[in-house]
Amino acid sequence: MPNGPLSPPARLCLLAWDPARPGATDSARVHHLVRAGALTELARRGLLVDDDGVAVPADPDARTGDAVLDGLLDLVRESMPHRWRTWVRRYARVTFDAVREQLVAEGQLRAEKKRVLGLFPSVEYVLERPAAARALRERTRAVLEGAVPADEISERDAAVAVLAAAAEPRALGTAGTGADREARIAELTGRAAAAPGRRRILIEVLGALRAEATDAVAPSGG
């Protein structure tokens, strides 16, 4: 990758990208997934901490050097206190847009200008490196399937895997029974957030994504 490893929110954006329908990625579901990745990464770095279920900045002046993460830190600092689940959704598109521009700068996406109906200017984002995106998906699926012991997986990789699985359970379907899958997710969750405070944060964020995924696949009433 041109400028080093991708951040967790950037990886989650690529995992959710559908090359056949690039416009479908610009959806509330993906916005929330990307925001969840940014929240958990800030918590992993100790820059957002939990105060009885509320996301609180640990240091009013701390910076990460990553425009996406620093933008979210500023947003949390300048806003009224909110719970983690609220922050998964609140102004999530701001984080998604910042990640998308970051992926363009990293050479992972390409912005193509076009006109809708031949009149209205628009921008379409397409994968610049589809092979890299496929490799990322396969690596994430391998983590979920248990090909590697959990204690050999980095905290960041474990967090990306469980967040992606929570938001897109079918797209990252794994082999094995439901019980096997749940056991692996629990194992990876523990790896992604070994500290008690971070575990609570991850559980809250995962709960928000799973609730949305459940609503998306639930049959409508007749």
State the DSSP code for 24: G
Q: Do residues 202 and 85 lie in contact, with contact meaning Cβ atoms separated by under 8 Å?
A: no
Q: How much is the pLDDT for 170?
A: 59
Q: Give dist(CA 97, CA 43) in Å, integer.
A: 21
Listed by start position, the domains of the chain span: 8-213
Residue 19 backbone zone (phi > 0: left; psi -120 to 50: alpha; other: beta): alpha
Q: How much is the pLDDT for 37?
A: 98
Question: Exposed, middle or buried by CB within 10 Å (0-12, 13-18, 19+), for 210?
Answer: middle
State the DSSP code for 154: -
Helix axes 155-167, 178-192, angle to 10 degrees: 140
Which top CATH class is 8-213? Answer: mainly alpha
Q: How much is the pLDDT for 220?
A: 43
Which position has the token pair 């990208």? 17
Q: Give dist(CA 168, CA 140) in Å, integer.
A: 12
Total Cβ atoms within 10 A of residue 177: 8
Indicate the pTM of the whole model: 0.89
Q: How much is the pLDDT for 180?
A: 84
Q: What one-letter code names the amino acid at 189?
A: T
**What is residue 33's three-state secondary structure?**
helix
Written as six digits, the tokens of 133 are: 């995106």
- Ordered mean pLDDT values, 10 residues apiece, the chain (222 residues): 75 90 81 97 96 95 96 97 97 97 95 71 87 93 90 95 85 63 92 88 95 63 42
Q: How much is the pLDDT for 222?
A: 39
Instruction: For the chain, give the number of residues.
Output: 222
Which position has the token pair 């200008």? 113
Q: Do residues 173 and 166 lie in contact, with contact meaning Cβ atoms separated by under 8 Å?
A: no
Q: How much is the pLDDT for 18?
A: 83
Q: How much is the pLDDT for 70?
A: 98
